[in-house]
Amino acid sequence: MSDTVIEPAVENPPVVFTQDKIGWTAWLQPLAEVELTDRHYEALVDKARAKSAYFALLVRDPDILEARTKTDNDIFYNTKDGLPRAERELAATAASRLNGCILCASVHSRFASQYSKREADVQKLLDEGVTADLGDRWNAIVAASVALSATPPAFSADHAKRLRDVGLSDEEISDVVHGAAFFNWANRLMLSIGEPTPAS
């Protein structure tokens, strides 16, 4: 692996949380598509991800990326049972908003809006932050996600009770925990290896 470092040189980086599509650039050199082997493509899971600087950087360790991607896919796409997709995306958006990850918040807020049809409420979360009033059920999901993302984590039995009180089953509470915890980790990774860029 080359230790070539790309100097951050983003002009006018995004500084406002948005549901618009934005870009991202790595501070370390991603693998070029011509360098990818069959093992790399297997680890990417979706071959189109080879065009993403983020995944092209993470695929330098294919075993870890493959495990990471399968975990991500199971949390967000395996929605036959448990929490609706919109609220899994809400948990990811809340974690990303708290952590200051503009790129992750933009991606997951778009999904939350798409699946919930509550674009104005999702935008309110982005604009006002994690204390925005989004109604009892969404407030409980955001509060739990924020508590899980805090340093040190502050999630407690009170958060679980609040989620139950607004109608979530134990399985749905587990989905909130997984969505927020995964993106708390993913935000910190993304923020440490690159930065958002304006839409290309």
As a dihedral over the C-alpha atoms of residue 152, residue 155, residue 156, residue 160, rounded to 10 degrees, the angle is: -170
Q: Are 34 and 50 in contact (CB under 8 A)?
A: no
- List helix spans (H) across 15-101: 38-44, 53-58, 62-77, 85-99
pLDDT of residue 177: 97
> Looking at residues 98-107, what average pLDDT do you find?
97
What's the CA gap between 18 and 1, in Å, rounded?
A: 35
What is the pTM (predicted TM-score) of this model?
0.91
> Looking at residues 138-159, what average pLDDT do you find?
97
What's the CA gap between 103 and 198, in Å, rounded?
A: 10
pLDDT at 4 over 80: no
Q: Are 68 and 58 in contact (CB under 8 A)?
A: yes
Q: Are 15 and 198 in contact (CB under 8 A)?
A: no
pLDDT of residue 5: 57
pLDDT at 7 over 60: no
44, 132, 55: which is closest to 112 by C-alpha?
132
Q: Are 166 and 136 in contact (CB under 8 A)?
A: yes
Q: Residue 13 phi/psi, 5° resolution?
A: -65, 150
pLDDT at 34 over 60: yes
Q: Strands 194-197, 23-26: parallel, antiparallel or unpaired by DSSP?
A: antiparallel
pLDDT of residue 13: 82
What is the percent of the chain where pLDDT is above 70?
94
pLDDT digits (tens, 9 = 90+) for 51-97: 999 999 999 999 999 999 999 999 999 988 999 999 999 999 999 99
Burial of 114 (0-12, 13-18, 19+ CB in 10 A): middle
